[in-house]
Structure 1
Amino acid sequence: MTFFTSTTTPLFTMTWTPTSTGQYAGTCIFLIVFAAIFRALLAIRFNIDELMASIKRGRGDDQMPLYTGEAKRARRPWRANEAAMLGAMDVLVGAVSYLLMIAVMTMNVGYFLSVLAGIFVGSMAFGRFMTRSVAH
């Protein structure tokens, strides 16, 4: 398999086949935004414990909590609602990542570069929220 350039490569289904250059550009823009959303989801997933703790405390500001650098040693008890939320978040992150993988596996150069551009844009926008993450 080799990379190729075509403006009529289907994406995800045969009904999503660009027939013009404008539709192809729109598909590439969608992939850029979708990959940036993927990075945002990773940032949310990485900070979900802190986000939920701030919601429970009734914190009024809309900033993501910053890390103090201190490791939390105490283990919290298992809670079904938190486990379900984490599981749902992991499924969403996995689904988005697999859809991006399928876009890259079309071997279309434009789709491939669009996904890379979206990861770059997402990392620029949300990378500061993943400073300790392996995904960063």
Structure 2
Amino acid sequence: MDMDMGTSDMSGMSDMSGMDHSSSSSSSMSMAMVFVNNHDTPLFSNAWTPSSSGTYAGTCIFLIALAIIGRCLVAFKAIMEQRWTAAHLNRRYVAVAGKTPEAGRIDFDPDAKTASLVTPQGVEETVKVVRRVTNEPLPWRFSVDLPRALIYLCITGVSYLLMLAVMTMNVGYFCSVLGGAFLGELAVGRYIQWNEHDH
């Protein structure tokens, strides 16, 4: 009788281990990352699930446009960085102390009837602009750093949305993101590369 109980316990344990093995293998099969070509793959939420080939094509066109917008945002940030750097370098003024400009001497000279404001050194000013190339980081400015942070926020948001679209493992979505990245780089890539080479 004890032998029968031991045998039944052993068979029950083998059944349990067999069930565990089959469940683990089925879960590993369901987690395999493979590309699919379904036209009803949800995008971002279950509410955005294409129901026909037309809506699926519209979703792919949206992803192409979103990828192009992502590259345009990167190019826009590069252009703005160039402008902010140029404005910072041109903002370095040196005041000429103890020197009266030609215009001031003319104003105080009662005998002066006609005179030219152009001197041998060019147009004389009380303030001269000195441009200096520097590799130091720009000082923190609210008018510059806030727009920079907002542009980067938009770039990050678009990048994560594109990443979520690719993670659906839908072939159409994946190809749409690649196609949009290609078209965006083709259109505005020169602005990004120009800014990178300039620094």
Query: TM-score, normalised to structure 1's length?
Result: 0.80
Matching residue of 1:15:
47
Of the two, which has the highest radius of gyration? 2
Distance 2:133 2:192 in 1: 17
Segments of structure 2 that go 5 or more residues without pairing to the other structure are 1-32, 91-131
Tell me by how many angstroms 1:80 deviates: 1.7
Check if 1:50 corresponds to 2:111. Answer: no
Unaligned regions of 5+ residues in structure 1, if any?
58-70
4+ residue segments displaced more than 3 Å = 51-55
| Count of aligned pairs between the two proteins | 121
> Which of these residues, 50, 66, 74, is aligned with residue 34 of structure 1?
66
Give the % identical residues.
44
Work out which structure has the larger RCO, using CA pairs closer than 8 Å and 6 or more positions apart in sequence: 1
User: How far, CA to CA, are the matches of 2:62 and 2:70 in structure 1?
Assistant: 12
Higher strand share: 2
Residue 102 of structure 1 is aligned with which of 164, 168, 171? 164
* Deviation sequence 1:59-91 (CA, Å, 0-9, x none): xxxxxxxxxxxx941643221221111111111
Cα gap change, 1:112 to 1:74, in 2 (>3 Å): closer
Task: Give the aligned partner of residue 121 of structure 1.
Answer: 183
Could you tell me the TM-score, scaled by structure 2's length?
Answer: 0.56
1: CA distance, partners of 2:133 / 2:74? 21
1:72 and 1:3 map into 2 onto residues whose CA distance is 50
One-letter amino acid matched to 1:6: N
CA shift, 1:51, in A, is 3.9
Give the superposed CA RMSD: 2.5
